[in-house]
Amino acid sequence: MEHKRTRIVVDKKFQYRTAIRSALLPFITLLIVSTVLFFFAQKNNSYIEEVVDNQGAMIEMFLTTPALHNSESTIILEGEKTFKQNIGMLKEIRYNSQLVLYFIVIITILQAVVIFAFSIISSHRITGPLYVMTQYLRDLRNGKKPGIRPLREKDRLKDFHEELIETIHYAEPHLPFNNNRDKGDT
């Protein structure tokens, strides 16, 4: 019968240290990449802002020039339309750049959380069996017969667990809990 246990963090020091170490390198790498991308995106945003301001100034200049007030001229109308479209596209580019920055920050945080959680769960497959086998040894040391049970399907250290069980069975005739029972029977 397979034992289901709900406590995932058995050895806090080992599991948290392993999880933090596992998440640290990808987090630092992503942080560096994010910082570089953030720097360039901010620089691009300032350029875009400057271009938007320049475009706006140019439109104002054209609109205040009396010779260009002939709204019948297709060249003037097309120029004004193009300037306005360019400003709209630049604003959209700036908005998209900001979205990319937010996305990078969110993904960085999510990745660190996922790696941390995955490391906790993965390390549980080692600390769980170690906890069980430590209980066997404590029981033996306290003169009790260990409550031997199988490990879960995905647990690690199964070979060591089997070796420990075989050793306990081999030594059982000489263990204190068997000697006490024999003395009580006489």
Tens digit of pLDDT at every position of the chain (186 positions):
455 556 777 778 888 888 888 778 777 887 788 788 778 877 877 887 787 777 777 777 777 777 666 667 777 777 778 877 877 887 888 788 778 878 877 887 888 888 888 888 888 888 888 889 999 999 888 888 888 889 888 888 888 999 999 998 888 887 777 655 444 444
Q: Are 149 and 5 in contact (CB under 8 A)?
A: no
25 Rama sector, left if φ>0, alpha if ψ -120 to 50, beta otherwise: alpha
The domain limits of the chain are 12-185
